[in-house]
């Protein structure tokens, strides 16, 4: 997907596994990968608008609630797994419970 969506190729390393659950809906099993290097020219597409941030400036307030828990583990190169249970209210997803571990 990196080639088709961002115009790059990269040797990916599995970093973690997440499970997202919404009662009454399908759950999502997500494998997270990390790349230390890439080749090609990063490009914007319909699927992605690449942006770079310093570690201390990641805009967690504009991301899913749980990202603030697992992204630091990803950046620290610590393998992780986790689960987040959400409740859907209208168009919003409310985080009800979560856990992340290494």
**Is residue 73 within 8 Å of residue 102, measured between CB atoms?**
yes
Report how far apart, in Å, the C-alpha atoms of 34 and of each of 67, 86, 95, 98 are.
15, 25, 25, 22
Which is higher by pLDDT, 5 or 42? 42
Cβ neighbors of 71 (< 8 A, separation 6 or more) are 58, 60, 63
pLDDT(3) > 80: no
pTM of this structure: 0.83
Note the pLDDT of residue 1.
66
- DSSP E strand boundaries for 5-75: 8-9, 13-21, 28-34, 39-40
Note the pLDDT of residue 54.
94
Q: Which domains does the chain have, with CATH numbers?
A: 2-101 (3.90.79.10)
Strand partners, 31: 17
Note the pLDDT of residue 102.
79
Express each pLDDT in 50-77 by its tens digit: 899 999 999 999 999 999 999 999 999 9
Q: Which residue from 38, 34, 27 is spatially nearest to 88, judged by alpha carbons? A: 27
Note the pLDDT of residue 45.
86
pLDDT(5) > 80: no
């Amino acid at each position: 997907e990196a080639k088709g969506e961002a115009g790059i190729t990269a040797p990916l390393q599995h970093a973690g596994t997440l499970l997202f659950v919404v009662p009454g809906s399908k759950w999502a099993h997500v494998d997270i990968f990390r790349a230390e290097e890439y080749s090609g020219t990063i490009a914007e597409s319909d699927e992605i608008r690449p942006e770079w941030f310093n570690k201390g400036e990641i805009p967690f307030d504009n991301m899913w609630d749980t990202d603030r828990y697992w992204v630091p583990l990803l950046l620290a190169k610590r393998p992780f797994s986790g689960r987040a249970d959400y409740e859907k209210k209208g168009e919003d997803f409310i985080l009800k419970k979560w856990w992340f571990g290494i």
